[in-house]
A and B are shown apart, each in its own frame.
Chain A
Amino acid sequence: MPNKILQKQHVSIDIYFLNKLAAFAYFLFAIFGIAHCELSANNTHFSKKSKSQKDTLKFTSPEVVIIGNRITTQNTISSASTTYFSKEEISKIPALQISDIINKSPGVYIKNYGGAGGMKTANIRGTNASQSIILLDGVQLNSKQNSIYDLSLLPLSFIEEIEVTRGGSSDIFGANALGGAINLLSPKQKSNTYKINYNLGSYNEHKLSLALPTFEVNNFLFTLATSALLSKGNYKFNFDEYGVTNELQRENSQFDNFGIFFNSDYLINDVNFLNFKTINTYTDRGVPGAVVQNRIESKYATIKEFSSFNNLLYNLQINNNYFVKINLIGKYNHQKYNDDQPNAIETLKSATFLNTEFITNINNLWKLPNFNINSNIEYSYSNLIGDMLDKCVGREVSRNNFSIALYLDKIFQIKSNQNISITPSGRIDLYSNFKPSYSYAIGGLYQLSLKNKSIFEIKGRYSNNFRIPSFNELYYFNYGTSDLRPEKSQSFDLSTSFAFVDIFKFEISGFLINTRDQIISIPKNTISWAAMNLGKVLTNGIEILLSTSAFDKKLQTSFAYTLQEARDKSLESLNYNKLIIYTPQEILNATISYSPIKPIFLQLNGEYTSHRFSLPDNSYESMLSNYLILNSSIAYQFNYNKIDCRLQFEINNILNNNYHIILNYPMPGRIFRIGLKLEI
């Protein structure tokens, strides 16, 4: 029997964990040993700082809007609907991975295959994961191989802020931004403390992150952080087999994720600097398959994945009005799939993929009175070497892309507290294996301010967007279709917001996305599929964001609600007007935070998702039921021997609900987690 009846679950440190911990300890010892030597040498520098200077300080570039691959502020596109998670907000949310933060934004739905190691992709405004861009400091992370990015790969501790741009934005971000973009921002602030964070959770889950204080040598500044997340993922779930509900245990869902973040700055003068950043992650995980009666698929399949992200930035301020940024970016991803299933066909037992990408771009920003002109010129080369590519292309495929983009922001001052911005933009992308793609947008913003704070806004945007087919869609063995066309879409967005001091903020947005030539996987028969340009999809909906604060911020609430529809509008489709699979019509995420006395923080969070369909005919049998998940946490903050400590206890899925986000991929039941965060 492939399934085991669940043994009683213990949260304990076992041999498995000790082995992993030892490996990680050695890894850290090597890194921190070196770093500590450097720090000791510069100890004098830190000893000069007073207690008041212990807080982090904003360090780097001026707050500018830069388009293309470098977006460094929260108001990336002033006329687009955006959700911004600040460093402070992120630190308060009990979250294991980045997806736990992002799903608090309206318009975002996380597809989760279950557990810490399950793939997690973000779907914005009813589009699919390949139609939403994930960026790291403005650089696209979506794989050229499959167009998506798995949010479980990047450690949360390397991310300080998150911006979610909802709505089409290819004019700014390039290909794939049909639904929107999620920009993950790495730490840019100088830190004077050691940060240590350890969490212990159910299913042998251990999370440890360490960050050193920024240290300086002459004009150089260095930041180093590491992270490890280990989980056996052997959670229990209930499953109906032949009329009997059995309690089973998820197998082959272990997840080991290690990461290291290194940032260095060289200050040329007060305004100009060179920055080099590298983020490297290594993930070794099981990839359990679907659970069906009397069988769990892929009980032996694993993926080992090494990713490296490297960015060299030259930040240049020519004068008070003219800024230039030059980037050199290298991305590397090596993935090895292995399935030791005894009966598997030899050619399906293992596959290796090496995906490399090189990007260079130049950004220019002219800041004139009430007028910003922003341009970006970019060249990128991407390459995939791997097994399982179509025989006609051999083992290697590549693509060159050259793009030019222009973004204008004209501000009309109506009164001292009112202004209107108009933001036209355009972009052309030239590809080595596709016709040129043009994307453009026009947006507007009316803003009413009180004491320099925006209290009322109306904004709207129209954009024309595209997505280039991934290498897999073009060339994957027995799946790819080499003559696919790019997807095209038009996106409309209208939103209004009202804020009253810091105690109340309300925002409502309406959107419509009309996508044609959508690339869909069409079955050629019952087990093999092919990518085809068949779909026309119309998505529309509203999003509501409401946040309140009361009793001197002791009681805070947030409420993100999405009501949407994504329907197949392909005239010849057998499923015309049916809902697109795995796209819920209703998503709600609400949180109440309460601090009765200052060192204690309580939080209750609820996530509701309406039913979805797993088949395009929307038959009742293909329906996945709605689910409501309640999570809670309590945190206690204190100072011990001048060490800032935060002790936190969480319970996720309090009601122990059984639910699936992806059909036959069960999600975990109740999870307990305890964590300690130290700042020294």
Chain B
Amino acid sequence: MNILKSKYKIIILFFSFSIVFTSCVKEPVSPLISSNDTSSKGIYVICEGLWHYDNSALSKINENDGNIIPNYFQLINNYKLGDLANGGIMYKNDLYIVLTTPAIIEKINLLTGKSIGRLKLKPESDPRKIYILNDTTAYITNLMNHSVSVINPRDMIDKNIEITVGPAPENISGDGKYVYVANSGFGDYLYDEPGAGTISVINSANNNEINKIPCGENIIEVKYNKKLNRLYACYFHLPSNKDSVGGIVEYSLPHQKEINRLRSRANAIAFSEDEVDMFYNTDEGIYRINLLNNEFKPELIIKNPNQKEKWYSIAQYGNKIYIGNAKNYQTKGEVIVYSMSNFSQPIAKYEVGLNPNTIIKY
């Protein structure tokens, strides 16, 4: 009997022990990333992350030594950037990042990488993109409010001016006098609402909407070209119209007259530094259009070797073109760099955060 009791004790001990110590799957430890890079110069990449993952990031690439800090903002500031960094713009020495879900504008000093201001906009306004007019005035599109907010970027103050535009505004640009807003219509949801698929024109002098320029369903992008004084817009198709394509439209200013329209599944556009060329991105790769040529004829300059990987953003600085590769949107992205003199092979690839949507050289 005593032996039996001993057996029981052993069983109990075994059991108790097993509860506390059975794990044979080791948890990964945080990869050690330290910043030995004392230079503030480099390529900054705003990585959007995925909705509700709270995993937006600002990555920093030092092209001189190839050093990458995938989550530069968090490393410097000791907290996460936030959820859905949809837009960003560099103004003087500062970077302004628009975080959609929390309705936050984060102002980062690029000399230090530190956050120097955080503006909380109206809750649930879902800000998307920012355009800075001058030191004291910036415009932010509010996707869900169908409006544009005006803020003071220097002091990070909301001016409490809300300009009603078309439904679900996305991108925003300006020529110093007028502000142009892409009214997307939020894909299929509001495509038949008045103003969907147009570009709102706001007079910055009085913050009034003065016109709506027709463009195309699901317009996402609008960009002003200062050299040519023209406006370029990029629109998608409606997701429900699976066989349709979007396109790129060119407008002359100040008359806001459409002068060219190209059917294409373009999803991002960028200008060369001299603003003579426009680059745009499709599943096939990167196209270039010489804007001085009135034919508005695209040329495929970089072929995407793996069309399952989604190229998400483009930028051109110096003699290089930078492509933000979102891959399958759920995998860490990369920045692919090509030389402008040879498009056959990339000259560098840098792993960054999830869904790189803005590439800025500082």
Main secondary structure of the interface of A (DSSP, over half): loop
Are B11 and A574 within 8 A (Cβ)? no
Contacting B at CB under 8 A, from A577-633, are: 585-586, 588, 590, 592, 606, 608, 610-611, 614-617, 619-623, 625-626
Q: Are B123 and A2 in contact (CB under 8 A)?
A: yes
CA gap between A586 and B308 in the complex, in Å = 33
Chain B interfacial residues counted at CB < 8 A: 63
Among A292, A522, A575, the one with the most B-chain Cβ atoms within 10 Å of its Cβ is A292
The answer to whether A621 and B25 touch (CB under 8 A), given A343-B125, A526-B50, A575-B331, is no
From known contacts A292-B54, A344-B144, A590-B19, infer whether A550 and B8 are also in contact, taking CB-CB under 8 Å: yes
B158 smallest CB distance to A (angstroms)? 15
Interface centre among B19, B120, B186, B332 (most CB of A within 10 A): B19
Cβ–Cβ < 8 Å partners of B144 in chain A: 343-345
A590, B20: Cα distance in complex, Å = 10
**Residues on the B chain within 8 Å of A621, using CB:** 55, 71
- In the complex formed, the residue of A with least CB distance to B22 is A588
Minimum Cβ distance to chain A for residue B190 (Å): 6
Shortest distance in angstroms between B101's beta carbon and chain A's nearest beta carbon?
A: 5
Among candidates A289, A341, A555, A559, residue contacting B8 with C-beta atoms closer than 8 Å: A555
Please determine whether B71 and A348 come into contact, CB atoms closer than 8 angstroms. no
A640 within 8 A of partner (CB): no
Query: Are A626 and B329 in contact, CB atoms less than 8 angstroms apart?
Result: no
Closest chain A CB from B235 CB (angstroms)? 15
B330 at the binding interface (Cβ < 8 Å): yes
Q: Establish whether residues A563 and B25, one from each chain, have CB atoms under 8 Å apart when the complex forms.
A: yes
Rounded to whole Å, the gap between the CB of B139 and the closest CB of chain A is 19
B18 at the interface (CB under 8 A from A): yes
B15 and A557 form a contact (CB under 8 A) = yes
A240 contacts partner chain B, Cβ-Cβ < 8 Å? yes
For B12, B52, B82, the residue with the greatest tally of chain A CB atoms inside 10 Å of its CB is B52
Contact of B28 among A555, A563, A620 (CB under 8 A): A620
Please report the C-alpha to C-alpha distance between residue A345 and residue B186 in the assembled complex, in whole angstroms.
9
Choose from A294, A561, A606, A622 the contact partner of B55 (Cβ within 8 Å).
Answer: A622
Pick from B16, B51, B332: contact of A619, CB under 8 Å: B332
Most buried by B among A504, A561, A574, A623: A574
Residue pair A590, B27 in contact (C-beta under 8 Å): no
| B residues in contact with A241, CB < 8 Å | 79
A533 at the interface (CB under 8 A from B): no
Whole-angstrom CA separation of A625 from B27 in the bound complex:
8
When distances are taken between beta carbons in the complex, the residues of chain B under 8 Å from A391 are: 240
CB distance from B136 to the nearest CB of A (A): 25
Q: B327's closest neighbor in chain A, by CB?
A: A574
CA distance A561 to B27 in the complex (A): 18
B218 to chain A, nearest CB (A): 12
Taking a contact as CB atoms under 8 Å apart, the answer to whether A592 and B23 are in contact is no
B residues 4-38 with Cβ under 8 Å of A?
A: 8, 11-12, 15-16, 18-19, 22-25, 27-28, 30-31
Pick from B49, B83, B190: contact of A345, CB under 8 Å: B190
Q: Contact check, B30 vs A620: say whether CB atoms are below 8 A apart.
A: yes
Q: Which residue of B lies closest to A347 (CB)?
A: B189
Q: Mark A565-576, 1 if CB is under 8 A from B, else 0.
A: 000000010110
Known: A294-B82, A347-B189, A563-B24. A524 touches B239 (CB 8 A): yes
Among B16, B124, B187, contact of A478 (Cβ-Cβ < 8 Å): B187
A478 touches B101 (CB 8 A): no
Cα distance A294–B23 in the bound complex, in angstroms: 35
Please determine whether A240 and B11 come into contact, CB atoms closer than 8 angstroms. Answer: no
Query: What are the residues of chain B within 8 A of A626 when measuring CB–CB?
Result: 23, 27
Smallest CB gap from B123: residue in A: A2
List CB contacts (< 8 Å) of A528-575 with chain B. Answer: 528, 546, 548, 550-551, 555, 557, 559, 561, 563, 572, 574-575
Contact with B along A378-398 (1 / 0, CB 8 A): 000000000000110000000
Residues of A within 8 A of B123 (CB): 1-2, 295
Some 29 contacts from A to B, beta carbons below 8 A apart, are A240-B79, A240-B80, A241-B79, A243-B79, A290-B52, A292-B101, A293-B102, A294-B102, A343-B144, A345-B190, A391-B240, A523-B50, A526-B51, A528-B239, A559-B15, A559-B18, A559-B19, A561-B18, A574-B327, A590-B18, A610-B27, A611-B27, A615-B331, A616-B328, A616-B331, A617-B331, A626-B27, A663-B53, A664-B52
Q: Besides A292-B54, A606-B19, 19 other CB < 8 A contacts?
A: A293-B54, A294-B103, A295-B83, A297-B52, A344-B144, A347-B190, A477-B188, A523-B330, A525-B310, A526-B49, A526-B326, A551-B8, A563-B25, A572-B308, A586-B24, A608-B22, A615-B53, A625-B27, A626-B23
Interface residues, chain A, with chain B CB atoms under 8 Å away: 1-2, 240-243, 289-290, 292-295, 297, 341-345, 347-348, 390-391, 477-478, 504, 522-528, 546, 548, 550-551, 555, 557, 559, 561, 563, 572, 574-575, 585-586, 588, 590, 592, 606, 608, 610-611, 614-617, 619-623, 625-626, 663-664
Give chain B's interface residues, CB within 8 Å of chain A: 8, 11-12, 15-16, 18-19, 22-25, 27-28, 30-31, 48-55, 71, 77-80, 82-84, 101-104, 118, 120, 123-126, 144-145, 168, 186-190, 239-240, 308-310, 326-332, 354-355
